[in-house]
Amino acid sequence: MNGTPQRFLNLQITNRDQTDMKPHTTPTLRFPTVSLRAGISTLALAALALTALPGTLRAQELLNVSYDPTRELYREVNEAFAQKWQAEGHDVPGIETSHGGSGAQARAVIDGLGAQVVTLALASDIDKIAATGKLPADWQSKLPHNSSPYTSTIVFLVRKDNPKGIKDWGDLVKDGVEVITPNPKTSGGARWNYLAAWAWAEKNGQDPKAFVGELFTHVPVLDTGARGATTTFAQRGIGDVLLAWENEAYLALKEIGPDAFEIVVPSVSILAEPPVAVVEANIADDAQRALADAYLDFLYSPEGQALAFKHYYRAWDDSAAAPEDVARFPKLELVDIGHFGGWAKAQPEHFGDGGIFDQIFTAK
Amino acid sequence: MPALVQKTPMPGLRLSAGITLTMLSIVVLLPIGALLLKGASFGPGNVWEVVNRERVWTALLLSFRLSVFAALFNLVFGVLLAWVLVRYDFPGRRLVDAAVDLPFALPTAVAGIALTTLYAPNGAFGQLAAQIGWKIAYTQWGILLALIFVGLPFVTRTVQPVIEEIDREVEEASATLGASRPHTLRHVILPMLTPAALTGFALALARAVGEYGSVIFIAGNIPLKTEIAPLLIVIQLEEFNYDAAAAIGIAMLLISFAMLLAINIIQIVSRRKMGHV
């Protein structure tokens, strides 16, 4: 791709030079030869690109297909696990992690991306992969805590000193408050935002559909992903409050500076469980299965749990974690997805085509 | 192969024709064929049911209307830019000439983020616009801006070589025959540029209709307000609803096809006119 426009540009400039000197010369016969050569080199490039595509992985290699905000976490996990695996007398494992929107990542695996391990934002995304037979339907019961080695929740990120006085979900629909959230149709994180708001309304005697509907009239920008929404809020200065993953909010605070933002923890939020699973169909042999199982088990080990705490996830086992990493999480009432009847029910009911979220916008 | 008539003395016609057709099939015909096949297996009734909703129509109308505006803008300013680049010599002309291609070279996401940074209410230009109460980023203005950006090179690059070919004698002859400058422009220059400019217009339009990467950052993406049709396709994909995604894709394909056909017909008519003059 890169070479062709450059060549095109050169060609144009050369031609213009020629016309500058001899205004009436017709294009020379060399022209087609050049484009043929360009065509052949493009073909060669394409062939090269094809051979460079990842083929089937060898046994001691592992591809972890994950979602967006886990980049920093898995960078450390991969390193720590590789050392541990080596210390146990194995060869150095080649572990790669791919990140992107949770739904898009699930589609990539369905369409044939050879991931041995998936670590996604929503159980419903892994359910979709399971529906193709690549892993058993009861995958979520294979590992402890609904196969979620770490959890998170949804909190508010507000501007320094909280000028709009935002304390809880009810404050978000006050006049003049602008709320930034990604689009629940395209972002896994945003679905948790939406369900957390729904849960608060239920617990406070409000009609949840009307409350969530009103909440979305306060949203000026619907980004497609969680990172995009963080950028809109933090860098573009849009909105008064960002509904964010707790780990994402802490990361923004760390990266952009605690003098610009504050975290506000609402009275009720949702227990977000980003699950992990081995993709059975992509396991080549027993050695690779052992590696994949050990990798996921490592996430549950005290060492792996400590890393999750360090990266602002609410993990389960704090025995090896730094005390300050554990202490920063305030206690709040958490509702889990079971309250909504599980993802298999909540996904189509709220976020499916023509579901409650779509009705909010078409009813206006 | 009797179908292939060799009109040039160049060797290698069969080889190059074979490569061309193969590449064309792999890159263009197969994906479009697969899209249509997906739509056919879904059923025309179902396709219509997906497309015939307020939200889809609103998004389609928004995408095509803003694309036409952006392409019209690029038509006028692209011709102007090409004229200036060919006919005037000024310091840095080569640099400007090369810069015209930048929208092609830049990843669209980078363009979108850069435009949003500049035109957001706290950005360099956005701040100025906000003072007169004009919001650009996260409104339809922002979408238009991104579409103008990605379509800019097409008209300029198609018209430029034509302007280079125009002999100054033609204009001089027109002047000596007593035509005023506007008359020469209207009746001599513009008719020569029309076919190329229309090609550029069609390319800019087609590009704008399908643009996703840059628009998504600056649009705001609010349903019924700033939601473009390609985003609806992505949303359907997020729901693993491949059929509905294909349905909206087919609707866009058909509308684009109709528009490009109309432009081609105008082009043929204008060429014929040229021939008679």
Domain that holds residue B217: 44-276
Chain B residue with the nearest C-alpha to that of A352? B239
Tokens standing for residue B249: 């894709």
C-alpha distances in angstroms, A318 versus A298, A302, A303, A309?
14, 7, 9, 8
Greater confidence (B274 vs B129) lies with B129
Q: Which of the four pLDDT bands, split at 50, 70 and 90, describes residue B4? A: low
Give the nearest partner residue to B105 out of A5, A33, A106, using CB atoms: A5
The proportion of chain B whose per-residue pLDDT surpasses 70, expressed as a percent, equals: 95
Q: CB of B220 within 8 Å of any CB in chain A? A: yes
Are the C-beta atoms of residues A118 and A277 closer than 8 Å to each other? yes
Are the C-beta atoms of residues B234 and B212 closer than 8 Å to each other? yes
pLDDT at residue B65, rounded to an integer: 95
Tokens standing for residue B115: 């435009």
Question: Looking at residue B188, what DSSP letter applies?
Answer: I
From B117's Cα to the closest Cα of chain A, the distance in A is 7
Closest alpha carbon to A69 in A226, A196, A228, A300: A226
Question: pLDDT for B211-246, tens place per residue?
Answer: 998 999 898 888 888 999 999 998 888 878 889 999
Greater confidence (B274 vs B66) lies with B66
Rg (CA), chain A: 25
Mean pLDDT, chain B, whole residue set? 89
Tokens standing for residue B160: 């430029």
pLDDT at residue B203, rounded to an integer: 92
> What's the mean pLDDT in B243-252?
93
Contact assignment for A236 to B223 by CB distance below 8 Å:
no
Q: Looking at the structure, do residues B58 and B176 belong to the same domain, yes or no?
A: yes
Question: pLDDT for B100-149, tens place per residue?
Answer: 998 888 888 899 989 999 999 888 898 999 899 898 989 999 999 999 99
From B138's Cα to the closest Cα of chain A, the distance in A is 7
Name residues whose C-beta falls within 8 Å of residue B269's C-beta, 6 or more positions apart in sequence: none
pLDDT at residue B245, rounded to an integer: 92
For the domain covering A61-149+274-323, report its CATH number: 3.40.190.10
Q: Looking at the structure, do residues B241 and B214 belong to the same domain, yes or no?
A: yes
Contact assignment for B122 to A236 by CB distance below 8 Å:
yes
Per the structure, how many domains does chain B have?
A: 2
Give the homologous superfamily in CATH for domain A154-271+332-362: Periplasmic binding protein-like II (3.40.190.10)
Q: What is the CATH number of the domain that holds B195?
A: 1.10.3720.10
Dihedral angle of Cα B186, B192, B198, B200, to the nearest 10 degrees: -110
Question: How far is B181 from B13, CA to CA, in rounded Å?
Answer: 47
Judged by DSSP in three states, A288 sits in helix
Judged by DSSP in three states, A152 sits in strand
Q: CB of B117 within 8 Å of any CB in chain A? A: yes
- CATH 3.40.190.10-classified regions of chain A: 61-149+274-323, 154-271+332-362
Taking the model in full, what pTM does it have?
A: 0.76
* Beta-carbon contacts below 8 Å between A and B: 90
Q: CB of B55 within 8 Å of any CB in chain A? A: yes
pLDDT at residue B240, rounded to an integer: 80
Low-confidence ranges of chain A (pLDDT < 70): 1-59, 363-364
Closest alpha carbon to A309 in A149, A190, A85: A149
Contact assignment for B120 to A351 by CB distance below 8 Å:
no
Strands (E), chain A: 61-66, 94-98, 117-119, 150-151, 154-159, 179-182, 222-223, 241-245, 261-264, 268-270, 276-278, 314-315, 333-335
Tokens standing for residue A14: 């050369």
Q: Looking at the structure, do residues B37 and B165 belong to the same domain, yes or no?
A: no
Q: Looking at the structure, do residues B250 and B204 belong to the same domain, yes or no?
A: yes
Strands (E), B120-248: none
Compute φ and ψ for A315, nearest 5 degrees.
-95, -175
Among A316-320, B54-58, B269-273, the minimum mean pLDDT is found in B269-273
Q: Looking at the structure, do residues B23 and B127 belong to the same domain, yes or no?
A: no
A345 CA to centre of own chain: 22
Tokens standing for residue B122: 């706290």
Chain B residue with the nearest C-alpha to that of A351? B239
Give the nearest partner residue to A222 out of B220, B238, B240, using CB atoms: B220
Among A167-171, B5-9, B234-238, B255-259, the minimum mean pLDDT is found in B5-9
